[in-house]
C-alpha cells in the first residue's frame, strides 16, 4: 500500500482532516439533530456525506498517485539523450519531447511527469503534493481528491445550514433550547469550521476544475508549460473520472481500466521515444559547447555540465554519458525549469 510515512507534517494534517470531519459529524448529529429533530433522515443523509468524504480522503491518501515504475530504471541507466531541435523531422518521433531521466529516482521522466521531493518518486500528471491528504494529487487519485472536496463541501453547507436553523429557532423560543455551555461552544466551533473548510474546499475545487479544463496541472501552470492535447471540457472530465458521465462519478469506486491503460500507454511511449531518440542521436549530436581532450561537454541550465565520452562506431562518433565524471559544483536539481532552460538554450 502506498503511504507516505516520512512527512510528519503531512501525516498530522491528514489525521487532523479526518478528525475534523468526525468532529463535525458528532456535533451535528449528537448535539443538534438528535435533541432537535430526534432520529430523522437528516442523520442518515449527513452521516452518509461525512462517510463518503472520509472514504474519498482515505482513497486519495493511500492510492499510488501514478508513480513512474522503477522498471524504467533499466532503460534510464543507459543515459540521457540530447535532442537536437534543429534536426527535427515532421514525421519523426523526435518531434515529441524526449523524456528526461530523473536524477533523484533514476527513472525515466515522461514529459507529463514531475519528481515529488516528498513522495521521492516521479509522478505522472502530478497536480500538486497536498499535505491535507499526505500524498500527491495526480492521475490515479485526482478523482478521489475531487470527490473528497465535493463531499466535504456538501457536509459544510449541510452542517452550516442545520446550525443556522437551530440558532434561529432558539432565538424565537428559548424554552426549546435548554442552555448548555459545552454544547453551545462546540456548536460555535463547528460552525466556524464549516465556514473555513467550506471556503477552502470551494477554492480548491475551482483550482482543480480550471486545471482539468485547461489541460494543464497546477505544477505545469507554475512552469508555464503548455497542454500537450486539446480536449473539450466534458472529455477532460471523462479522462479524469475514467468513464462517461454516470452516477459512478460520485462514488469513490476503483479506477476504471481506461485510466490504467492510459498510464501504461504513456510509460510505454516514453520508453519508445527515448529508445528512438537514442538510436538517432549519434547522427544528430549537436556540437559540444566545450571539448576537453577526448571528451565533450554540454553546458546547460545554471552552469550545469554534462560530460560525454565519444567512441567511434561505424565511422561515426557515439557519445556516452561519462558516469565517472563529477560535476564541478553541487547543484540543486529541484528546479525542473533549469532542465527546460537547458534544453532550450543549449541547442540554439
Ligand atoms: Zn524522479
Ligand atoms: Zn508527492
pLDDT band at 217 (very low <50, low <70, confident <90, very high): confident
Q: What does the alpha-carbon distance between residue 293 and residue 140 come to, in Å, rounded to a whole number? A: 48
**Domain end call among 200, 232, 253:** 253
Verify that 155 and 12 share a domain, yes or no: yes
pLDDT exceeds 70 at position 281: no
| Ligand showing the shortest atom-to-Cα distance for residue 66 | 2
Mean pLDDT within 234-238: 94
* Mean predicted confidence (pLDDT) in 31-44: 86
SS (H, E, C) 12-27: HHHHHHHHHHHHHHHH
Query: What residues make up the domain containing 150?
Result: 8-68+127-253
Is residue 95 within 8 A of residue 234, CB to CB? The reply is no
- For residue 61, give the H/E element and its range: helix 41-62
Helical residues (DSSP H) of the chain, grouped into ranges: 8-26, 34-37, 41-62, 73-76, 142-172, 181-214, 218-222, 233-241, 257-284, 336-346
Q: Quick one: pLDDT band at residue 216, thresholds 50, 70, 90?
A: confident
Q: What is the pLDDT of residue 325?
A: 41
- 122 Cα: distance to centroid of ligand 2 (angstroms): 9
Nearest Cα neighbor of 16 from 281, 192, 226, 197 is: 197
Ligand 1 ion: residues within 5 Å (CB) = 102, 104-105, 115, 122
Task: Average the pLDDT over 111-132 and give the result.
Answer: 94
Same domain, residue pair 249 and 283: no
The confidence band for 40, taking pLDDT boundaries of 50, 70 and 90, is confident
Q: What is the pLDDT of residues 6-36, one digit of tens each?
A: 999 999 999 999 999 999 999 999 988 888 7
Choice among 107, 130, 156, 159 that is catalytic: 130
Tell how far the Cα of 145 is from the centroid of ligand 2, in angstroms. 14
Flag whether pLDDT at 166 surpasses 70. Answer: yes
Question: Other C-beta atoms within 10 Å of 178: how many?
Answer: 9
Q: What is the CA(251)–ligand 2 centre distance, in A?
A: 24
- Our answer to whether residue 130 is catalytic in this structure is yes
The reply to whether 57 and 164 lie within a common domain is: yes
Q: For residue 59, is pLDDT > 50? A: yes
Q: Is residue 118 part of a domain?
A: no
* 197 & 318 share domain: no
Looking at the fold, whether 275 and 222 belong to one and the same domain comes out as no
Do residues 107 and 68 make contact, with C-beta atoms less than 8 angstroms apart? yes
Give yes or no: residues 289 and 341 share one domain.
yes
CB 21 within 8 A of CB 152: yes
- pLDDT grade for 183, boundaries at 50, 70 and 90: confident
Lowest-pLDDT range of 100-104, 191-195, 231-235, 288-292? 288-292
pLDDT of residue 151: 98
How much is the mean pLDDT over the chain? Answer: 81
Distance 7 CA to ligand 2 centre (A): 10
Average pLDDT over residues 189-208: 96
Sequence-distant (6+) residues with CB within 8 A of 71 are none
Angle between the N-to-C axes of helices 142-172 and 41-62, in degrees from 0 to 180, rounded to the nearest 10: 150
Burial of 87: CB neighbours in 10 Å, binned 0-12, 13-18, 19+: middle
Q: Taking the CB of residue 245, how many other CB atoms lie within 10 A of it?
A: 10
The better pLDDT of the pair 103, 340 is held by 103
Instruction: Please write the tens of the pLDDT for every residue from 81-116.
Output: 765 444 444 444 446 778 889 989 999 999 889 999
Residue 98: DSSP 8-state: P
Looking at the structure of the chain, the number of domains it has is 2
Q: What is the pLDDT of residue 198?
A: 96
Q: Please report whether residue 163 resides in a domain.
A: yes
- Interatomic CA distance for residues 89 and 67, integer angstroms: 31
Q: How confident is the model at residue 333, as a pLDDT?
A: 38
Asked if 133 and 37 sit in the same domain, the reply is: yes
Grid cell 540554439 is found at: 348
Q: Which residue has the higher pLDDT, 139 or 313?
A: 139
Higher pLDDT pick, 283 / 39: 39
Residue where the block lists cell 547522427: 283
Left (φ > 0), alpha (ψ -120 to 50) or beta: where does 197 sit?
Answer: alpha
Segment 138-147 mean pLDDT = 96
186 and 63 housed in the same domain: yes
Which band of pLDDT confidence, cut at 50, 70 and 90, is reported for residue 313? very low
What single string gives the DSSP state of each residue in 135-162?
A: EEESTTTHHHHHHHHHHHHHHHHHHHHH
Q: What is the mean pLDDT of residues 168-186?
A: 81
Amino acid at each position: 500500500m502506498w503511504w507516505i510515512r516520512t512527512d510528519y507534517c503531512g501525516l498530522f494534517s491528514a489525521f487532523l482532516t479526518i478528525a475534523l470531519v468526525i468532529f463535525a459529524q458528532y456535533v451535528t448529529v449528537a448535539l443538534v439533530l438528535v435533541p432537535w429533530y430526534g432520529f430523522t433522515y437528516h442523520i442518515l443523509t449527513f452521516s452518509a456525506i461525512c462517510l463518503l468524504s472520509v472514504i474519498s480522503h482515505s482513497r486519495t491518501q493511500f492510492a499510488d498517485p501514478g508513480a513512474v515504475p522503477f522498471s524504467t530504471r533499466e532503460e534510464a541507466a543507459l543515459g540521457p539523450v540530447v535532442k537536437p531541435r534543429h534536426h527535427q523531422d515532421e514525421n519523426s518521433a523526435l518531434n515529441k519531447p524526449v523524456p528526461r531521466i530523473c536524477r533523484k529516482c533514476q527513472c525515466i521522466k515522461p514529459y507529463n511527469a514531475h519528481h515529488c521531493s516528498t513522495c521521492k518518486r516521479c509522478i505522472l500528471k502530478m497536480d500538486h503534493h497536498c499535505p491535507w491528504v499526505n500524498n500527491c494529487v495526480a492521475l490515479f487519485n485526482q478523482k478521489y481528491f475531487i470527490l473528497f472536496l465535493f463531499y466535504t463541501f456538501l457536509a459544510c453547507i449541510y452542517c452550516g445550514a442545520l446550525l443556522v436553523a437551530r440558532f434561529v429557532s432558539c432565538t424565537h423560543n428559548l424554552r426549546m433550547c435548554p442552555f448548555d455551555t459545552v454544547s453551545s461552544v462546540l456548536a460555535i466551533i463547528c460552525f466556524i469550521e464549516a465556514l473555513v473548510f467550506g471556503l477552502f474546499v470551494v477554492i480548491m475545487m475551482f483550482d482543480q476544475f480550471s486545471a482539468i479544463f485547461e489541460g494543464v496541472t497546477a505544477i505545469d501552470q507554475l512552469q508555464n508549460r503548455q497542454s500537450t492535447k486539446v480536449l473539450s471540457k466534458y472529455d477532460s472530465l471523462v479522462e479524469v473520472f475514467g468513464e462517461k458521465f454516470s452516477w459512478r462519478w460520485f462514488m469513490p469506486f476503483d479506477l476504471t481500466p481506461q485510466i490504467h491503460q492510459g498510464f501504461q500507454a504513456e510509460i510505454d511511449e516514453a520508453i519508445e521515444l527515448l529508445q528512438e531518440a537514442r538510436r538517432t542521436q549519434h547522427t544528430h549530436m549537436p556540437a559540444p559547447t566545450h571539448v576537453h581532450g577526448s571528451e565533450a561537454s554540454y553546458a546547460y541550465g545554471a552552469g550545469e555540465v554534462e560530460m560525454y565520452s565519444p567512441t567511434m562506431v561505424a565511422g561515426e562518433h557515439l557519445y556516452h554519458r561519462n558516469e565517472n565524471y563529477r560535476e564541478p559544483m553541487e547543484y540543486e536539481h529541484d528546479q525542473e525549469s533549469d532542465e527546460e532552460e537547458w534544453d532550450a538554450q543549449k541547442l540554439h
